[in-house]
Every structure is written in structure tokens, then in C-alpha cells.
Amino acid sequence: MIKGLIKDLFSYDFIGDKMDEEIKLIKEKIKQKRNYHKPINESKSNLTDIFLKHVNRILVVVLITLITLIFLKGNSSFWEVFYKYVYDNNFSFAKINELYQKHFGSPIPFKNLLNDKITPVFNEKLKYYEVSKYKDGARLVVDDNYLVPVIETGIVIFIGDKDEYKNTVIIQQSDGVDVWYSNLTNINVKLYDYVKEGSLLGETIDNNLYLVFKKDGTILDYKEYI
């Protein structure tokens, strides 16, 4: 049994075993030839099989959507839970990545073995003149067209327009906090990039930079983070 398991998992092949299999096949063929006068059950045509498979899948999807919709309409507490976990919470890639790398090394072999000489070097800390509250987060007064560095290492999970904050990049940090960097142009990162602490994120449009700190949909106090 263990031999079979190893064979399946590591595609271990031993020619002696292969020959045994071939002998079995030949024996089966001989048996079939002996029973050739018996009628053989004809299988269904291939095309209908494929068609039925797809129809089944579509039906299952429709069923699941209908059931969730019925529950959402009928049960208000379910609606709240659904809204919280589907719309507000993010799957914490950065947290799992940090945990995994700490114990088992990188999940893809050969990651970061060479020195990075291609991406330009930029290692700064956030500098600002004034902080004040702005909507959910903070408004920092900085230089005109200030080059914004990343506060803490994380993964980029959103790039786009957020109505009241203008152009926004959201970075999910390994401690589970989502940081919104808003009012940016010339964004230097792409979606699902891992960005390091101090690397270049983008440029501010004027002399304002908006930051928002969120965790699982609840807004955090910005004073603890800057």
C-alpha cells in the first residue's frame, strides 16, 4: 500500500511493475477475445455527456444564488453577517504570507535568490508639516508633488478612485491593517505587488496626502500609526 502511495505521489516508476501491468492487460484482452460473442454495452455519445455536465453545473450555480438571495431577504441578521464578511473584510494575504515564510520559507521555490538591480532604489520615511482630521482618516500637509514612501511592508489590494479621497492605493499590511494612501498621481506600483517599507508609492497631486487606517471594516485612530 505504501509503495502504491509513493508511486502515485512521486510518479515513481519501476519497469518490473510496468511489465506486470502489461501482462495483466494482455490477460484481460485474451479474456475479452474469449467472450467476443457476448454483446457489449454501448456507452452514450460523448457530446451529450459534455452538454449534460455543463447544464448540471449551471443548475447548481443558479440553485446556490437563489438560496442565498432567499436567506438574505428573509433574515436580517444573516444579511448583516454576509455584508460584513463579503464586503468589508479582506482575505489577509500579507498576514498568511508572513506566517508561512517564517516557518516554511517562500511558497514558490527560488524566490528572491538574486539581487534586485533593476527596480530603482528609493528608501525614505514619511515627512509632513501638519496633521489634522479629515473625514475617516488624517490629512497630512506635505511639499508640493511630494514622493510618498510606503509606511509598512504589505500587498497592494486596490488601486483606483475613491470618491471623497480621489485617487487611492490600499495596502494591506501583515498586521491586518489596511492603509489608504489617497490624492496620488503617477502611481509606481501595480495591483498585487508586494511593496517594501520605504519604497516609492507615487506622487501627491497638490500638497495634501490623505491617510485612512482600517481593520476588518472598522476605522482605526490614525494617531497610533503616524
Partner 1 sequence: MERFLIIKNIYKKIHIHFLYYLVALLAIITGLFKDFIIFSLLIIIHELGHIFIALYYRWHVEKIIILPFGGMTIFKEHLNKPIFEELMIVIMGPAMQHLFYLLAMNLKPNFLLMNYHYTILFFNMLPIIPLDGSKFLNLISNLILPFKYSHLITIYFSFLVLIGIILFKINNLVVLLILIFLTIKVISEYKNHKYIFNKFLFERYLYRFNFKKSKVIKGIKLALMHRDHFHFFKVGNSFIKERKILEQKFDNSNDLW
Binding site for partner 1 (CB under 8 A): 6, 9-16, 93-94, 96-97, 100-101, 104-114, 116-119, 155, 190, 192-194
Among candidates 69, 49, 85, which has minimal Cα distance to 217? 85
> Strand pairing partners for 148?
202
Strands (E), the chain: 130-134, 137-141, 147-149, 154-162, 166-173, 178-182, 184-185, 194-195, 200-204, 208-215, 218-219
d(CA 80, CA 30): 66
Task: Give whichever of 71 and 100 is closer to partner 1, judged by the CB atom.
Answer: 100
CB of 113 to partner 1, least distance (A): 5
Residue 116 or 130 with smaller CB distance to partner 1: 116
Radius of gyration over alpha carbons of the chain, in Å?
A: 29
Cα 173 from chain centroid? Answer: 14
Of residues 13 and 21, the one with the C-beta less far from partner 1: 13
Phi, psi for residue 211 in degrees, rounded to 5: -125, 140
Nearest distance in Å: CB 172, partner 1: 8
Residue 94 or 151 having the CB closest to partner 1: 94
> Closest approach of Cβ 204 to partner 1, in Å?
26
CB of residue 94 to partner 1, shortest distance in Å: 7
User: What's the closest the beta carbon of residue 152 comes to partner 1, in angstroms?
Assistant: 16
Residue 110 or 129: which CB sits closer to partner 1? Answer: 110
